[in-house]
Amino acid sequence: MLGVCFFILISVSVAAAIPTGNFGALSNAIVDGAAQAVTLTLSLAGMMALWCGVMRVLQEAGVIRLLARVLSPVLRLVFPDAWRSGRACEEITASVSANILGIGNAATPLALSAMAKLQEENPTPDTATDDMITLSVLATAPPALLPTTLIALRRAAGAARPYEIVLPVWITSAACALFGIVLCRLFARAGRGRRRD
Amino acid sequence: MIEILSGAIMPCVLLLAAIPMLSKRRDFFARFTEGAREGLTSAVRLLPTMIALCVALAMFRASGAVDLLTGALGGAAARLGIPAEILPLLVTRPVSGSASTAAYADLLASVGADSFAALCASVLMGSSDTLVYVITVYFSGTAIGGKPPVRRTRHAFFTAACVMIFCVFLACAVSRLFFSEAGA
């Protein structure tokens, strides 16, 4: 699937470069892109190391277990398989909480360790489980409390009321997250029905 | 006030993690370094995926595909109640965080931060994320435990795309509700 995604991006780019004649820019982009990947990963590496370390401390101290217990009435409905088996619950709780608190930098490394944990429990390791899909889809529509970058950009652009977007953003992102969860549950059920046939 | 609170979240979480380190019975600092070492290994394991992804996304940005798609979709978008000005943002949002932030800043500068298109774009930016990047990185995360990664992602991309489309229409509808005075 990732290969298909790669193919689509590359073929669309090459096709778009034919009428525009942008092939020189395309070659430069390949060189820059590869270099960017390293810079990006290195800057991600610092955050990943920090948050994985913090996560380990909070886990050992029992903070995450407490948080998982508080949030479990909601998360149990969203990630039924993880909560049934009792594995990866803490990792999922940590990454979802980081997303809601708006510390996206921390959410990615936490989510990655949740994905790795889910993969350990995966009975069919080449195929994504329902919980993996829900976790990744939720991250594409993160229900953030405060869109700080947006507010900063709006203030810089001279908006009269930089904060007026906050309430509409909450409504929209909450609805999108809910829509994503419902779709995931529906598709998961449909997939399970097909497998049983 | 809100800015102070949001700025305080990360330091407070760190403080919360620093408190157990006072414990004399258990060595929590050693737990921290263990976790951090694992995090570093994960990051290195991610690099091959990141290279493929970043190259493909950089090509997509440089190819001029954004302009072509924007031109092709302009009429249809206006008919669906989406301001044509936000199309560059719509096209870049699923594939690139930096490109969509640039498209957003560009939009604010060109039509004004208080125009309806800019408000629509703000709501959209606040409630969506870079779909391709997130899904790809998350699924390559399945490999960092040392197991082979998931190859079949089933309905992950399709569902995320549905959510993104839903989000675009909802963002415009909610903005129309809230900002009718901005000339919707």
Residue A75 scores a pLDDT above 70: yes
Which segment of A41-45, A59-63, A183-187 scores lowest on mean pLDDT? A41-45
Contact B10 A29 (CB under 8 A): no
Give me the residue spans of the domains in chain A: 31-196
Residue A196 scores a pLDDT above 70: no
**How many domains in chain B?**
1
Max intra-chain CA distance, chain A: 60
Residue B15 scores a pLDDT above 90: yes
Contact B156 A32 (CB under 8 A): no
Here the ipTM equals 0.83
Residue type, B157: F
User: Is residue B46 within 8 Å of A116, Cβ to Cβ?
Assistant: no
Where residue A194 falls among pLDDT bands split at 50, 70, 90? Answer: low
Mean pLDDT of chain B: 86
Q: Which domain holds residue B87?
A: 2-182
Contact B59 A33 (CB under 8 A): yes
- What percent of chain A is modeled with pLDDT above 70? 94
Cα angle for residues B134, B140, B146 (degrees, 5° grid)? 150
Residue A73 scores a pLDDT above 50: yes
pLDDT tens readout for residues A2-28: 677 788 889 989 998 888 777 888 999
Chain B neighbors of A94, CB-CB under 8 A: none
Select from A6, A56, A127 the Cβ nearest to the Cβ of B154.
Answer: A127
Kindly report the number of other CB atoms within 10 A of residue A152's CB atom: 12
Q: Which residues of A158-172 are buried (b: 16+ CB within 10 A; e: fewer)?
A: ebeebebbbebbbbb
By CB neighbour count within 10 A (0-12 exposed, 13-18 middle, 19+ buried), where does B43 fall? buried
Residue B129 scores a pLDDT above 60: yes
pLDDT tens readout for residues B83-104: 888 988 898 888 877 778 888 9
